[in-house]
Chain A
Amino acid sequence: MGEIMNKLKFVFSAIVFSAGLVITTLAHAETIKIGVSFRMLSDVGYKHGELITDTVAKWNKEGTINGQKIDLTLYNDECKSEKGVANATKLAYQDKVHVIIGSSCSSVTLPMVPVSAKAKVPQIIPHSTNADITKKGSEYIFRVPVSSRFYKIVQGKFTAENQGTKIAYIYGPDAAGKDFALSLADYMRENYNVEPTYMVQSGEKETDFRSYLTKAKATNPEVLVISALLDETVRGLVQSYEVGIPKSVHRVTASIGSKVEIPINAGSAAKGVTFSAAFAASDTRPVAKKFVKMVKDKYGVVPGHDFSQMMDLLDILEIALKKVKFTGDLAADRNKVRDAIAATTDFRGLASGPINFCKSGTPECRDGNRTPVMIEYTKGGKNFKTKVAGTVTFNASAGL
């Protein structure tokens, strides 16, 4: 008797569970699903996650996307390719999202691209700059930040014409830092026929660069490139003065220079540092001022260009999603979202220039922001100041 009751209980539970599933599915028929994968637990990564969550909550509250509900799924990829691939696969096939946002690290975004392309789900990149990402030719990929192919040209040209061609490079083992230094060195070699006076890769998490800097000093460079992660860049800048490299030597960093921790932590050593980025917190446009104030008030940090790029991405997505008439056919809806994002033209948000996408899956069409801006710190410390040293908008095929 007990066994029969157990079986009945099991059958009843199965029916209730199935009914629940059906009801849930029907209730979410009109729901738009957005999946996110990036490094969520880094210094500001968590706050980026909050920015997305808050923005989507606002859309839902105000019925911004044609009154449709947005279902948000956030995963942390820890800046590890294996996790990024797993997240993209899960978001595409199991969570059945309409669009994926991610990732921060180029080394994670690179293997995510074939996953999203195969699953035919649009993927929009908030931070990764590695030029190879869009060269894969996926029709489903969109990049909001400036590609490294533009950064290397603007930095190379600016450095050669304004600072000098005798350059010493110290770079970290991280993909972004290394990519920037090597690309810049290649650019100088190809266009100005100059070899680095000194070039070295530091060790992982190494923070004492004085031996490298002393060797770099001995080569009498006109420019010192320090291209590494945040703490390493700060230490490198401070130590460059400790070893006696004169002020007249121009200090250059990768786009990480846009992070406010650089002038705050490096203090006076940040003065004169130039970098190329997509946004500066000192931007005087009303839209930028409003954004900086909002981020300061709400998230307690001064936004660097990573923050602004995430905001631009969300604004682009909002415009695109509004245009789409969702039918409930996932494959068709994903293609509609892709086409709607691809139709983004002359979007003017926080970025240094307009963002344009187009239909083809080529880098010309999918590297949206082609306007890096050269920024210089004119004062370091808490009350740091910057000035825009130059802005240039490249044609779509530059650097390919």
Chain B
Amino acid sequence: MEKFKSIIRDYPFIAFIIAFVILAFVPSVVFTDVYQSHLATLIFVNIVVAAGLNIVKGYCGQVTVGHVGLFAVGSYTAGTLFLYLGLGFWATLPIAIIVTAFFGVAMGIPSFRLEGPYLALATLGGGEAIRLFIENGNFFRSTFGISDIPTPSLMGYNFDSPDRYYFISMTIMIIAVYFSFSILRSGVGRAFMSIREDPICAAAAGINVKKYKILAFILSAMFAGAAGAVYAHMPPGYIHPNNYTVIEMVTFLAMVVLGGLGHIWGGIIGAIVITIVYDLTRPLYKYQLLIFGLTIVLTILFMPKGLGGFIDRYFLEKRFKKKTGTEKTS
């Protein structure tokens, strides 16, 4: 076991390959109906967005409340490329990522001079401006939405139903999470953390704060762009500006906060929990917002470091007990 752990430590991508193989068998082994595949796809899309948001918010410490706008840019880039040029998923995905990266630059520039609630307001304005621009623009089909966006196909195999599209969204999620891990464990990730802890200290230590701030916004925007494109092509292939409001933004933020800000697994855990909690409370629509809000408040009250921090603490205590043989930590 120790040898296996050491291999994973040295070659982390092996863990992702194992995760890919396990997740590939989940629909046939675990799922009992197509809806579960649909829900899994939503979870994967949310994981990609939340993993990106965790880079800029959790690791770099930049308060952004406009991420849903970047998600919309990804979706609408894919949607309009199909609408006007007839491009399919494999072409729209990379273009959506690149286009959203440029929007990430625009969203990140205010972070040079603003921070905290001021930056939050600026990014909130940016995100809402994007949605309103889409909503009022006939070029984007306005409030009629873009429909019939085709699902991807590969060598004649069409991923046209939720149980098939699962494999597309799962693959993109695995790749995105792998990149997120690689970035956060590299020197770039450490630079982000130092900026989060103290930008002045980071600058004094020779870190180009502006460069890394903008890089965090670009990287997280690329994640949002990828998620947006995957979302746009998800069956039945329909996007509408109503799906990119402040409520969705708060939900994304809740995922990161619940999972644990700055925790490497934070966004992932949060995306899974929030999406499932939302789904389980679907029949209780009268009380859904109450349950949802209560879950967040209680988590913040009793687990300020989120579920990720809670899990970390559990393992730390377990390791401590094992080493010392004591029952309780001091």
**Residues on A facing B (Cβ under 8 Å):** 40-41, 46, 73-76, 79-82, 85-87, 89-90, 92-94, 107, 110-111, 113-115, 118-119, 130, 132, 173-175, 178-179, 201, 203-204
Interface of B is mostly: helix
Q: Which of B19-46 contact A (CB under 8 A)?
A: 33-36, 38-39, 42
Task: Report B's interface with A, CB cutoff 8 A.
Answer: 33-36, 38-39, 42, 132, 135-136, 142-145, 147, 161-162, 235-240, 242-243, 279, 282-283, 285-286, 288
User: Which chain B positions have C-beta within 8 A of A73?
Assistant: 283
Q: Which B residues lie within 8 Å of A118 (CB)?
A: 161, 235
CA distance A114 to B143 in the complex (A): 19
Tell me the dominant secondary structure on chain A's binding face. Answer: helix
CA distance A295 to B132 in the complex (A): 37
Q: Tell me which residues across on chain A come within 8 A of B36, comparing CB atoms.
A: 94
A81-B145, A114-B236, A118-B161 are contacts. A87–B242 as well, Cβ < 8 Å? no
Going nearest first, the 9 A-B pairs with the smallest beta carbon separation are A111-B238, A76-B285, A114-B236, A94-B35, A93-B34, A93-B35, A175-B143, A93-B33, A81-B240
20 extra interface residue pairs, beta carbon distance < 8 Å, beyond A107-B242, A111-B238: A76-B282, A81-B238, A81-B240, A85-B238, A86-B282, A90-B282, A93-B33, A93-B34, A94-B36, A107-B240, A110-B145, A110-B238, A111-B145, A113-B236, A118-B161, A173-B135, A173-B142, A175-B143, A175-B144, A175-B145
CA distance A130 to B141 in the complex (A): 14
- Asked if B38 and A86 make an inter-chain contact with CB atoms under 8 angstroms apart, the answer reads yes
CB distance from A50 to the nearest CB of B (A): 11
Q: Across the interface, do A75 and B145 meet the contact criterion of CB distance under 8 Å?
A: no
B-side contacts of A40, CB under 8 Å: 285
Contacts of B242 in A (CB 8 A): 79-81, 107
CB distance from A228 to the nearest CB of B (A): 12
Ordered by A's residue number, 14 sampled pairs between the chains whose C-beta atoms are within 8 Å are A40-B285, A46-B286, A74-B283, A74-B285, A76-B285, A81-B238, A81-B242, A89-B35, A90-B279, A92-B35, A107-B144, A111-B238, A113-B236, A118-B235
In whole angstroms, what is the CA distance A94 to B282 when docked? 13
Query: Across the interface, which residues of A come within 8 angstroms of B135, CB to CB?
Result: 173, 204
Q: How distant is the Cα of A170 from the Cα of B151 in the complex, in angstroms?
A: 37
Task: For A203, list chain B residues within 8 Å (CB).
Answer: 132, 136
The CA-CA distance from A109 to B136 in the complex, in Å, is 21
Provide the residues of chain A in CB contact with B238, threshold 8 Å: 81, 85, 110-111
Q: How far is the CA of A203 from the CA of B241 in the complex (A)?
A: 14
Nearest-neighbor residue (CB-CB) of A179 within chain B: B144
Instruction: Contact check, B33 vs A85: say whether CB atoms are below 8 A apart.
Output: no
Question: Would B35 and A107 count as touching, CB distance under 8 A?
Answer: no
User: Which of A40, A113, A119, A175 gathers the greatest number of chain B CB atoms within 10 Å?
Assistant: A175
Residues of B within 8 A of A201 (CB): 136
Residues of the A chain whose Cβ atoms lie less than 8 Å from the Cβ of B235: 114-115, 118
Given A80, A90, A111, A173, which contacts B35 in the complex, CB threshold below 8 Å? A90
Q: A41-B285, A76-B285 are in contact. Are A81 and B136 (CB under 8 A)?
A: no
